[in-house]
């Protein structure tokens, strides 16, 4: 019996010792005081919770410390000033650019899905400068902007020919080398791949239209 209790005591986890850490407590208190007017309710509750933990245990978990550092950085006076300056610089041009980027990412998931949804659903939302630059100033969105601004090559009502090439995909494969009538074309085009604007076309002599891409069509000779 004595051996049994000895074994159980041997495997028992040691108690976490309380300790004082006035530097950590003061650091969190400084952050709380600094960000009173700009903190979210969640941040305020989180800081209150870890402040209590710091006072009792003198330490934070690795996860708590990581979250705290992010909040501390965001609430730094220099970063608050930079954020205010960014918000003041917000204009219609930036708004249009972020809306285009959000539409691009909604059409081409999965990147920036949550941010794109918020941007499209909340007209008053201003993303951070860092998020704006990541979403807008990358090569994919810039290519999509070029493709969108180039306009459609073929107008509804015009006759074109499906390319007779092995690269032709989809239903157009069955109509290679044949003439088709353009019924309509995609007006909101948000793809980084050139030639992917979609058209609804009707093959000559057929009654069923189909959808294909601009790159699979060419001018009728």
Percentage of the chain lying above the pLDDT 90 cut: 71
Q: What is the pLDDT of residues 141-200, one digit of tens each?
A: 999 999 888 888 999 999 999 999 999 999 999 999 999 999 999 888 788 888 999 999
State the pLDDT at residue 161: 97
| DSSP for 122-168, written as a single string | -TT----HHHHHHHHSSHHHHHHHHHHHH--SS-TT-EEEE--STT-
As a whole number, the mean pLDDT across the chain is: 89
State the pLDDT at residue 21: 85
**If 0-12 CB within 10 Å is exposed, 13-18 middle and 19+ buried, where does residue 47 land?**
buried
State the pLDDT at residue 6: 52
Asked whether the predicted pLDDT for residue 81 surpasses 60, the reply is yes
CA terminus-to-terminus distance, the chain: 99
Tokens in use for 87?
């918000």
Asked whether the predicted pLDDT for residue 202 surpasses 90, the reply is yes
Angle at 217 between CA 212 and CA 221, to 5 degrees: 145
Of 94 and 59, the one with more pLDDT: 94
Q: Residue with structure tokens 């990412």?
A: 105
């Amino acid at each position: 019996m004595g051996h049994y209790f000895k074994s159980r005591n041997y495997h028992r986890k040691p108690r976490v010792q309380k300790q004082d850490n006035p530097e950590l407590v003061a650091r969190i208190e400084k952050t709380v005081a600094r960000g009173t007017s700009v903190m979210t309710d969640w941040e305020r509750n989180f800081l209150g919770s870890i402040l209590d933990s710091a006072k009792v245990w003198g330490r934070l978990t690795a996860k708590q410390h990581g979250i705290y550092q992010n909040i501390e950085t965001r609430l730094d006076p220099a970063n608050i000033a930079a954020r205010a300056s960014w918000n003041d610089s917000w204009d219609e041009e930036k708004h249009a650019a972020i809306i285009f980027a959000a539409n691009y990412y909604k059409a081409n998931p999965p990147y920036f899905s949550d941010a794109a949804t918020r941007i499209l659903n909340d007209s008053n939302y201003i993303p951070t400068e860092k998020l704006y630059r990541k979403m807008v100033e990358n090569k994919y969105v810039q290519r999509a902007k070029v493709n969108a601004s180039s306009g459609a090559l073929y107008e509804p009502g015009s006759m074109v020919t499906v390319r007779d090439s092995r690269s032709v995909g989809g239903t157009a494969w069955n109509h290679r080398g044949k003439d088709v009538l353009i019924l309509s074309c995609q007006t909101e085009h948000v793809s980084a791949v050139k030639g992917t604007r979609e058209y609804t076309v009707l093959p000559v002599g057929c009654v069923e239209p189909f959808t294909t891409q601009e790159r699979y069509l060419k001018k009728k000779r």
